[in-house]
Amino acid sequence: MEKTIKINIAGVIFQINENAFETLRDYLQSISSRLKNVAGGNEMIEDIEARIAEIFQSSSSWKTGVISLEDVEEMISTMGSPEEITEDFDTDYHYERKNSGKRMYRNPDGAIIGGVCSGLGAYFRIDPVILRVLFVVFSIFYLAGLFVYIVLWIALPGAVTPSQKKELHKDPPRRRDVGQTVNREIKNASENISKAATSENSRKVGNAFNEIFRAFGKFFVILFRIIIAIIGVSFIVTGFSMLFSFIVIAFFNTTPVFGNIFDTEIFYLPDFLSFIVNPSVTPWLMILSSLVIILPLFGIIYWGIRMVFQFRVRDLILNLTMFIIWIVSCTALSLLLFSEGISFSNSGRTTEEISLPASDTIIIGVNNYINSIEYERAIHLPFGDGFALYLDEDNRKIFGGAVADIYRSDEEEPYMQIVKHSNGRTRSDALTKADNLNYLFNITDNSLFLDEYFTIPEGNRWSGAYIKIKIYIPEGVSIFVEEDAEDIFDDYLGNGIYSYELGDKTWIMTNEGLERNR
């Protein structure tokens, strides 16, 4: 049978187990050693012993007659460790703590979601249930409650350490009123014990509300995590798709998979770079372009994985290193393009207007075909109406496909506009490059013969240049498009007519646009 000892605490006799007695003795001795040099320390020790006696008397073991080790440990948990009890006081009784005010924290111990309402309730001495109801009401009707809660969740630190919890729940006492503070706490504890029976119903109501809010809190936390996971999955899918596309474009001169899926042209990046820069710098551009594009994609994939699996890792150094590498790559790429005279920051356009023969019927044909030129590389860009570039490396020439369109004119005579576009470092540079584009055509009697391509001056690189031919036909005038000329026209000419329908037919311009001349 376990040995029991009789002890006297604050004038009350208790039966206590031997091991529990040893723990209690060490606890009181530790407090006594810390408070013996404090003014009023003896009174504080007596008050603490009285509080311990009250706790033991309110425990279930008091009814059975023997205080167990579990009772002592529960008392220590309630009272706090000796360090927690005495941490607010310095052994030099001439010193008073400077930081004696309360501080606002989140209270993780009473948290439903983030501990905001519990922390505010402890700070302002308000029931957290009331604050939770207010937040819910304002969130339902105005959404303001939700935003305020999130802001407070981010701004307020959590009360984790014992000193933070003490700052949250009460003012730290100063040396000169320590005895009064301890007495007041003991008096409050006694009053709380005496009122326990009468407040049972209110506690049940409060607990019921807390359970409801706890359930809602868990629901919204789970919902938030699901939303974050869905966003993470979209990041992963997007990142991998774009990364795979870039790898195919940059390192594999093949397009059948993408051509079948997306029904569009996918260009080979090294071929494209050979049109805009000197071939000798192409490898450097490939490396820098890869870093500029791939690093953000890796970042998207990485953060998507973190959002899906919601794990924490110390990756600040890694993220900072990748960001610095990306910034350096962007800077080096910009400087390299600038040194090559390549810039798309400004655009320029020039327009040349040519009168066409006044005739009832105008014949449109082709003068020079693309397949008549000699070139080593061709690239079809995924924008415009089938726009393509052709490179003659031996003669250092670049050719681009021209596009024509037909419009109704309010003038009495037909005419044609050749619109040249280009880009450059400045607007003046862009206009000069646009004006230097070479485009040939031929007008004979009532016939207009167009070239399928234009030429960039020898030694120049492509700077976003293209040419649009606009043919304006008055109402009532007919045109005949030769069969081999339909490829030069825009895919759709309006009024339900497509370019593949034009060839070897006569069309008349009406108020609604082109119509077939029967």
Per-residue pLDDT, 173: 46
pTM of the model: 0.48
A 10 A CB-CB count for 479 gives 23
Per-residue pLDDT, 300: 93
Per-residue pLDDT, 210: 63
Per-residue pLDDT, 197: 44
H/E segment holding residue 492: strand 492-494
Q: Which amino acid is at 112?
A: I
Task: Provide the CA 75 distance to its chain's centre, in angstroms.
Answer: 49
**Low-confidence stretches of the chain (pLDDT beneath 50):** 90-100, 172-179, 182, 186, 189, 192-199, 255-266
pLDDT in tens, 409-459: 999 899 999 999 998 878 898 999 999 999 999 999 999 999 999 999 887
- Torsion, Cα 327 332 334 340, to 10 degrees, reads -170
Per-residue pLDDT, 449: 95
Return the ∠ at Cα 286 (arms to 248 and 426), rounded to 5°: 115
H/E segment holding residue 392: strand 388-392
Question: At which residue do the structure tokens 């055509």 appear?
Answer: 441
Per-residue pLDDT, 356: 93
DSSP code for 280: G
Question: At which residue do the structure tokens 């710098």 appear?
Answer: 281
| Distance of alpha carbon 408 from alpha carbon 510, whole angstroms | 8
**Residue-wise over 44-81: b if at least 16 C-beta within 10 A, else e?**
bbebbbbbbbbbbeebebbeeeebbbebbeebbeebee
| Distance of alpha carbon 155 from alpha carbon 145, whole angstroms | 15
Per-residue pLDDT, 77: 81
In order of 118, 153, 164, 304, the CA distances from 107 in angstroms are 6, 11, 10, 31
Six token digits for residue 431: 């206009």
| Distance of alpha carbon 297 from alpha carbon 86, whole angstroms | 55
